[in-house]
Copies of this chain bind each other. A is one copy, B any other.
Amino acid sequence: MPNEPSPPRRRGAVRTEALLQVTLDLAAEVGYAGLSIEAIARRAEVGKHTVYRRWPTKAALLLDALQRAWATDLDHRDTGDLRADLRERFLRSSSALTEPPIGPVYRAVIAEAQSDPAARATLHERFLRTVETSTLERVTRAQRAGELRADVDLTFAAEVLCGALYYRHLLTPRPVDEVAIDGLLDMFMAAYGSRSRTRRPDAVGG
Chain A interface (Cβ within 8 Å of chain B)? 31-33, 107-108, 110-115, 117, 120-121, 123-124, 128-129, 152, 156-157, 159-160, 162-164, 166-168, 170-173, 180, 182-184, 186-193, 195-198, 200, 203-204, 206
* A73, B124: Cα distance in complex, Å: 28
Give the chain B neighbours of A129 by CB distance below 8 A: 172
Q: What are 6 A-B contacts defined by CB distance under 8 Å?
A: A123-B171, A124-B173, A163-B164, A163-B168, A166-B167, A186-B204
A124 with B171: CB separation less than 8 A: yes
A114 with B111: CB separation less than 8 A: yes
* Nearest chain B residue, comparing its CB with the CB of A157: B187
Tell me how many chains of this kind the complex includes. Answer: 2
Q: How far is the CB of A133 from chain B (nearest CB, A)?
A: 13
* A50, B31: Cα distance in complex, Å: 31
**With known contacts A182-B206, A193-B203, A156–B187 Cβ distance under 8 A:** yes
Give the chain B neighbours of A187 by CB distance below 8 A: 156-157, 160, 187, 191-192
Give the chain B neighbours of A114 by CB distance below 8 A: 32, 107-108, 110-111, 170
